Amino acid sequence: KNEVEQSPQNLTAQEGEFITINCSYSVGISALHWLQQHPGGGIVSLFMLSSGKKKHGRLIATINIQEKHSSLHITASHPRDSAVYICAVGIYTGTASKLTFGTGTRLQVTL
Partner 1 sequence: DTGVSQDPRHKITKRGQNVTFRCDPISEHNRLYWYRQTLGQGPEFLTYFQNEAQLEKSRLLSDRFSAERPKGSFSTLEIQRTEQGDSAMYLCASSRFGDSQETQYFGPGTRLLVL
Segments of 26-82 assigned E as strands = 31-37, 43-49, 52-56, 59-64, 69-74
User: Does residue 45 belong to the site contacting partner 1 (CB under 8 A)?
Assistant: yes
Applying CB under 8 A, among 44, 64, 75, 79 the residue interacting with partner 1 is: 44
> Looking at beta carbons only, is 41 or 57 nearer to partner 1?
41
- Least distance in angstroms from the C-beta of 35 to partner 1: 8
User: Does residue 7 belong to the site contacting partner 1 (CB under 8 A)?
Assistant: no
- Least distance in angstroms from the C-beta of 102 to partner 1: 5
The Cα–Cα gap between 6 and 80 comes to 21
- Nearest Cα neighbor of 19 from 64, 66, 63, 82 is 82
